[in-house]
Amino acid sequence: MKRTLIFAALFLLATTASAADPNLAGSRWSIETTIMVPGMAPMPGGKFDHCFDDSGVPYQEEPGQDCKIVHQQRSGNKVSWEIRCKGEDGASSMKGVSTYQGDSMTSDVEMIADGHTMKMKMKGKRLGPCQ
């Protein structure tokens, strides 16, 4: 389930980032995630390099997942969004706000899956062009 949520979060990052900064197409980003579950210590979610293609939507859906953006709004350098997924592991939803400052970004995300709520923090840095 954790892997599914991380892939869904990357999908969201890709689509919301392109809306906030059209210059992201063709750029490679390093993204780190930290997952927080109530009553537990923060857990590293992972570190990923993510490349935006010319379309600005490098959709990386895990097999068996069906994710849809149900809300997306841009205000200045912030993008708020909500996504809902259906898949082999059941249904999940995520809400978040991503903030973009030049070559860096941060996101605060709330994920609900199987009746459990988790929060995730993401931070990213533009590395340069895709290779």
Could you report the per-residue pLDDT of 58-81, keeping only the tens digit for each? Answer: 335 566 778 887 887 777 778 788
CATH number for the domain that contains residue 122: 2.40.128
Dihedrals phi, psi of 87, to nearest 5 degrees: -165, -175
Task: Measure the CA–CA gap between 76 and 115, rounded to whole angstroms.
Answer: 33
Give how many domains the chain has, as a whole number.
1
The domain of 75 spans 2-128
Task: Calculate the alpha carbon distances from 20 to 32, 55, 76 in Å.
Answer: 19, 14, 8
Rounded CA separation 71/16 (Å): 10
Which 8-state DSSP code applies to residue 38? T
Residues in contact with 21: Cβ distance below 8 Å, sequence separation at least 6, in sequence order = 100
The reported pTM is: 0.69
**pLDDT tens track for 4-47:** 555 555 555 554 544 444 466 778 888 898 998 888 888 888 88
